[in-house]
Amino acid sequence: MYLSLNYRISRRLSLFGSYDNRKNVIYYETFKSYTDAILQQASRQGLRFRINYRPVNLLNIGVNAGTRFMKKDTRKTNTLNGYATYSKVPLINSSLSLSTNLMQTSYLNGQVYGARLSKDILNGKIYGSLNYRWVKFDYVSSVSQLKQNIGEIDFSYQFSKKLYLSLNYEATFQKNEHFNRLYLNLRVKF
């Protein structure tokens, strides 16, 4: 069962709430990082509430909170996410987004802070973005901890309405380890 309600109070303020009791679908996705998989898993099922507010035309602010408790979990999963996006940064005509993700799951307490700078480089044909995230996961059943610095560079090119190419490079730095991921995506519409 999935129920949701979206209510737009005004042009600047909207509210959203949902209850999700669907079984978790298992996706065999190889392109998600460990951090992204944890964030997505923590936000599935349970009760969720979101508020979006636009105080001025170019600034959008949002907060999203959720909770769930499954019988197999040793403690509730709680998430709190916040973001702020400014659509036209002066001089560089880019969009800047800052985000915070705080979570408590049955096996970890996590914090993810991020910043993304994105720009339409060539009138809808070429688009690029830079992304940085700092990650800290504290595992509750041990004294182990995971700290990561994740950087991403994305470029996409729209050849036509039916042909799209994107390139994504992600570098993850953590104590004594360094990971690189490169994705090339070609999409053709028929």
Q: Which residue has the tokens 């996961």?
A: 137
pLDDT of residue 24: 62
Q: How far apart are CA 53 and CA 42, in angstroms?
A: 24
Mind listing the pLDDT tens digit of every residue in the chain (190 residues)? 889 999 999 999 999 999 888 776 665 666 677 777 777 776 677 899 999 999 999 999 999 999 987 777 778 889 999 999 999 999 899 999 999 999 998 888 999 999 999 999 888 889 999 999 999 999 988 888 999 999 999 999 999 889 999 999 999 999 889 999 999 999 998 8
Q: How far apart are CA 39 and CA 111, in angstroms?
A: 10
Q: How far apart are CA 65 and CA 83, in angstroms?
A: 12
Q: How far apart are CA 45 and CA 70, in angstroms?
A: 9
pLDDT of residue 34: 72
Residues whose CB is less than 8 angstroms from the CB of residue 31 and which lie 6 or more positions away in sequence, other chains included: 181, 183
Residues whose CB is less than 8 angstroms from the CB of residue 69 and which lie 6 or more positions away in sequence, other chains included: 46, 75, 76, 77
Q: Which residue has the tokens 């509750």?
A: 140
Tokens of 67: 């909770």
pLDDT of residue 100: 97
Residue 100 DSSP SS3: strand
Question: Amino acid identity of 138?
Answer: D
Q: How far apart are CA 170 and CA 150, in angstroms?
A: 7
